[in-house]
């Protein structure tokens, strides 16, 4: 039953959503089921967030208690989770420090700690990309040369100085890059990827509905 | 060790130093450049410009704080444009971490400049879990998905929201995003409800959406800081992105120079090896 019930629920949920798509929500019962099921997705999703907090607490707390390698980081993770979550959940009517409005603990932590840290992590990519470009971007074969040329052209096109440089070869050169490289070759390839991914998603959904794909239950 | 070997084994810390200098230099010596407008940015501007005054526009803040440098200038420029046209703005986010706070901070700041009033001219709906359900659900009823705004005020108490029930009452959706949520806005909202969508995304995601421009599913595209600078210029509010172009220009040129130097070293080293072997 533990294996059959989730498959039945997955099949019914998927089937009803597919069928109700074809019916008007104003005129038919089937059509009205879709928004109701979607509300349930939000409600169930809220509980999965709670499950995530319980899981992160359990896993990290065990690591801290047993003083596993890197237990200090695990402790920091736990402190961070609760120091952000608890003041944000308390009603702001108790104190202006609670809730998530401007001036609250959550807002302060987000603005002055979380936001700069995330920005720093992302900004560091520029250094790694520059170093990696120098070491790895080599014109070893015709394909790599083509990629390298396209990359250099796009990089030049995306900056005002580069665009001015490209205009030295012809007023329409940046326009050609936009039309033929980005709107032509690039768009064609991206379209192929998007269609391929959509077909893959459709077949995966079908596999889940028919119970062929069961990895979401934690088993193959 | 000859010069080519040295070039090939250049300590990466020198590269890091050069990148740091390329970023810092424009801060010390401010430089501005002429920004040319791409047809995609112009298309987005024209689409907003063509909206009747006091239209309802949904503006999304679907980005994390890590990409603020690229995305926030787009949101600010978009808000200037929308408020200047007296559009009523509904802001939403599918990002729990920061999305609602960024939307609140940015929208209130720009709205104050234009003398706009919360609840009458703009509303921040905030975040709700489950983006697919949220995007689909708002097609039937926004109030069913967001019974209250980001500050827990019931939508029925906000004058602006009394006449906005679903996508049918929204003239345009302006998405600013740093992730693949744009795909869902296109495949769910544009495809099912035919609401026109314009997008501003990070430079790394922009190439993907050219396919949707040519198919007509997306009306206009801003790509990265350059796209934001273009829109700032279009709305005559040159600010963060416009200034950032100097840094981006130098770093791009530096990377191109490094790629060329790396390849010269690679080919020269290979030729030297062949000569030695012969």
pLDDT in tens, A177-199: 999 999 999 999 999 999 999 99
pLDDT > 90? residue A75: yes
pLDDT, position A72: 94
pLDDT, position A214: 84
Cross-strand bridge partners of residue B172: B57
Average pLDDT over chain B reads: 91
Among B137, B151, B258, beta carbon nearest to A130: B258
B39 contacts on A by Cβ (under 8 Å)? 178
Residue numbers of the domain that contains B93 = 39-238
Is B100 in contact with B127 (CB distance < 8 Å)?
A: yes
d(CA B205, CA B176): 12
The answer to whether residues B76 and B196 belong to one domain is yes
A178 contacts on B by Cβ (under 8 Å)? 38-40
Is B128 in contact with B181 (CB distance < 8 Å)?
A: no
- Cα dist from A7 to A36, A153, B20, B179, whole Å: 21, 51, 54, 31
pLDDT, position A36: 81
Using DSSP's 3-state secondary structure scheme, residue B149 falls into coil
Name the residue of chain B whose CA is nearest to A150's CA: B256
Nearest CA of chain A to the CA of B53: how many Å? 31
The domain total for chain B is 2
Is B136 in contact with A34 (CB distance < 8 Å)?
A: yes
The answer to whether residues B83 and B125 belong to one domain is yes
Query: Of the given ranges (B15-29, B127-141, B150-164), which has the lowest mean pLDDT?
Result: B127-141
Report which of B79, B81, B77 is spatially closest to residue B46, judged by C-alpha positions.
Answer: B81
Query: In the structure, what pLDDT confidence band is assigned to residue A34 with cuts at 50, 70 and 90?
Result: confident
- Cα dist from A212 to A2, A6, A18, A54, B107, whole Å: 16, 12, 18, 30, 47
Q: What's the pTM value of the predicted model, to 2 decimals?
A: 0.88
d(CA B198, CA B218): 6
pLDDT, position A137: 86
The residue with greater pLDDT, B43 or B102, is: B43
Q: Are strands B122-127 and B56-62 parallel, antiparallel or unpaired?
A: unpaired
Helices (H), chain B: 3-8, 12-28, 39-49, 68-84, 99-114, 131-140, 142-145, 181-184, 191-193, 210-214, 224-234, 240-277
The answer to whether residues B231 and B251 belong to one domain is no
The answer to whether residues B271 and B144 belong to one domain is no
Q: For residue B197, with 0-12 CB atoms within 10 Å meaning exposed, 13-18 middle and 19 or more buried, which class applies?
A: buried
pLDDT > 70? residue A145: yes
pLDDT > 60? residue A49: yes
Instruction: Establish if B136 touches chain A: CB-CB under 8 angstroms.
Output: yes
d(CA B136, CA B268): 58
* Average pLDDT for B110-123: 95
pLDDT > 70? residue B1: no
- Cα dist from A112 to A107, A116, A124, whole Å: 8, 6, 18
pLDDT, position A40: 84
pLDDT, position A219: 58
Note which residues in 54-113 of chain B have CB less than 8 A from chain A: 64-69, 97-98, 100-101, 104-105
* Average pLDDT for B105-134: 92
Instruction: Establish if B18 touches chain A: CB-CB under 8 angstroms.
Output: yes
The answer to whether residues B111 and B208 belong to one domain is yes
State the DSSP code for B154.
B
Q: At what angle do helices B12-28 and B240-277 cross, to 10 degrees?
A: 150
d(CA A166, CA A150): 13
Name the residue of chain B whose CA is nearest to A37's CA: B133
pLDDT, position A100: 80
The answer to whether residues B77 and B193 belong to one domain is yes
The answer to whether residues B19 and B50 belong to one domain is no
Q: What is the CA radius of gyration of chain A?
A: 26
What φ, ψ does residue B62 adopt, rounded to 5°? Answer: -90, 55
Query: Could you read off the pLDDT of A121-135 as tens digits, one per residue?
Result: 988 988 998 999 888
Residues 6+ apart with CB under 8 A from A188: B211
Query: Could you read off the pLDDT of B69-96 as tens digits, one per residue?
Result: 999 999 999 999 999 999 999 999 998 8
The answer to whether residues B190 and B259 belong to one domain is no
- Quickly list DSSP for chain A: -TTHHHHHHHHHHHHHHHHHTTS-TTT-HHHHHHHHHHHHHHHHHHHHHHHHHHHHHHHHHHHHHTT-TTHHHHHHHHHHHHHHHHHHHS-TTT-TTSSSSTTSHHHHHIIIIIHHHHHHHHHHHHHHHHHHHHHH----SHHHHHHHHHHHHHHHHTSHHHHHHHHTT-TTHHHHIIIIIIIIIIHHHHHHHHHHHHHHHHHHHHHHHTTS--GGGT--
pLDDT > 90? residue B61: yes
pLDDT > 90? residue B181: yes
The answer to whether residues B93 and B211 belong to one domain is yes
pLDDT > 90? residue A99: no
Query: Could you read off the pLDDT of A146-164 as tens digits, one per residue?
Result: 999 999 999 999 999 999 9
Q: Around Cβ B30, how many Cβ atoms within 10 Å? A: 8
pLDDT > 60? residue B219: yes
pLDDT, position B265: 85
Average pLDDT over chain A reads: 89
Query: Of the given ranges (A33-42, B188-197, B245-254), which has the lowest mean pLDDT?
Result: A33-42
The answer to whether residues B134 and B229 belong to one domain is yes
The answer to whether residues B85 and B220 belong to one domain is yes
B261 contacts on A by Cβ (under 8 Å)? 134
Q: Can you give the length of chain B in residues? A: 278
d(CA A45, CA A65): 30
pLDDT, position A6: 87
Reported ipTM: the value is 0.85
The answer to whether residues B158 and B98 belong to one domain is yes
pLDDT > 90? residue A111: no
Nearest CA of chain A to the CA of B104: how many Å? 9
d(CA B151, CA A107): 14
Q: Around Cβ B220, how many Cβ atoms within 10 Å? A: 24
Name the residue of chain A whose CA is nearest to B69's CA: A119
Q: State percent of chain B over pLDDT 90.
A: 71
Residues 6+ apart with CB under 8 A from B216: none
pLDDT > 70? residue B171: yes
Q: What is the domain-level CATH number for residue B70? A: 3.40.50
Buried b (16+ CB within 10 A) or exposed e, B59-90: bbbbbbbbbbbbbbbbbbbbbbbbbebebbbb
Query: In the structure, what pLDDT confidence band is assigned to residue B97 with cuts at 50, 70 and 90?
Result: confident
* Average pLDDT for B55-73: 94
Cross-strand bridge partners of residue B62: B177
User: Cβ separation of A138 and B16 shorter than 8 Å?
Assistant: no
Instruction: Establish if B33 touches chain A: CB-CB under 8 angstroms.
Output: yes
């Amino acid at each position: 039953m533990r294996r059959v019930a989730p498959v039945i629920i997955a099949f019914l949920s998927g089937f009803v959503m597919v069928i109700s798509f074809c019916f008007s929500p104003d005129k038919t019962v089937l059509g009205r089921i879709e928004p109701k099921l979607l509300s349930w997705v939000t409600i169930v999703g809220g509980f999965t967030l709670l499950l995530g907090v319980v899981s992160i607490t359990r896993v990290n707390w065990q690591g801290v208690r047993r003083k596993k390698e890197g237990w200090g980081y695990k402790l920091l993770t736990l402190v961070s989770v609760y120091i952000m979550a608890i003041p944000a959940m308390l009603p702001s009517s108790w104190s202006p420090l609670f809730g998530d409005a401007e001036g609250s603990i959550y807002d302060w932590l987000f603005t002055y700690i979380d936001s700069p840290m995330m920005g720093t992590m992302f900004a560091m990519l520029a250094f790694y990309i520059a170093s990696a470009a120098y070491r790895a971007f080599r014109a070893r074969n015709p394909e790599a040369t083509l990629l390298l040329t396209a990359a250099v052209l796009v990089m030049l096109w995306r900056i005002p100085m580069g665009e001015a440089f490209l205009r030295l070869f012809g007023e329409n050169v940046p326009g050609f890059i936009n039309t033929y490289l980005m709107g032509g070759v690039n768009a064609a390839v991206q379209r192929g990827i998007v269609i391929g991914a959509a077909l893959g998603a459709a077949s995966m959904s079908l596999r889940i509905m028919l119970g062929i794909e069961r990895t979401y239950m934690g088993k193959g | 060790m000859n010069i080519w070997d040295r070039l090939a084994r250049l300590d990466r810390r020198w590269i890091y130093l050069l990148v740091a200098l390329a970023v810092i230099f424009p801060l010390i010596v401010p430089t501005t450049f002429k920004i040319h407008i791409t047809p995609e940015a112009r298309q987005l501007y024209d689409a907003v410009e063509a909206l009747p005054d006091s239209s309802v526009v949904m503006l999304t803040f679907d980005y994390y704080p890590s990409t603020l440098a690229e995305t926030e200038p787009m949101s600010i420029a978009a808000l200037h444009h929308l408020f200047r046209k007296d559009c009523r703005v509904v802001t939403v986010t599918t990002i729990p971490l920061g999305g609602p706070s960024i939307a609140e901070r940015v929208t209130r700041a720009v709205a104050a400049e234009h003398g706009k009033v919360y609840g009458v001219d703009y509303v921040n709906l905030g975040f709700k879990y489950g983006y697919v359900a949220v995007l689909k659900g708002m097609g039937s009823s926004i109030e069913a998905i967001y019974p209250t705004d980001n500050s827990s005020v019931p939508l029925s108490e906000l004058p602006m929201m009394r006449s906005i029930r679903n996508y049918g009452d929204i003239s345009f959706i302006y998405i600013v995003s740093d992730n693949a949520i744009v795909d869902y806005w296109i495949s769910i909202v544009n495809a099912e409800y035919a609401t026109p969508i314009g997008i501003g995304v990070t430079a790394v995601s922009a190439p993907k959406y050219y396919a949707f421009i040519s198919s007509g599913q997306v009306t206009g595209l801003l790509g990265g800081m350059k796209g934001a600078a273009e829109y700032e210029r279009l709305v005559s509010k040159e600010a963060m992105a416009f200034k950032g172009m100097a840094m981006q220009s130098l770093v791009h040129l530096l990377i191109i120079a490094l790629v060329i130097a790396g390849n010269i070293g690679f080919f020269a080293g290979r030729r030297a090896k062949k000569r030695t072997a012969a």
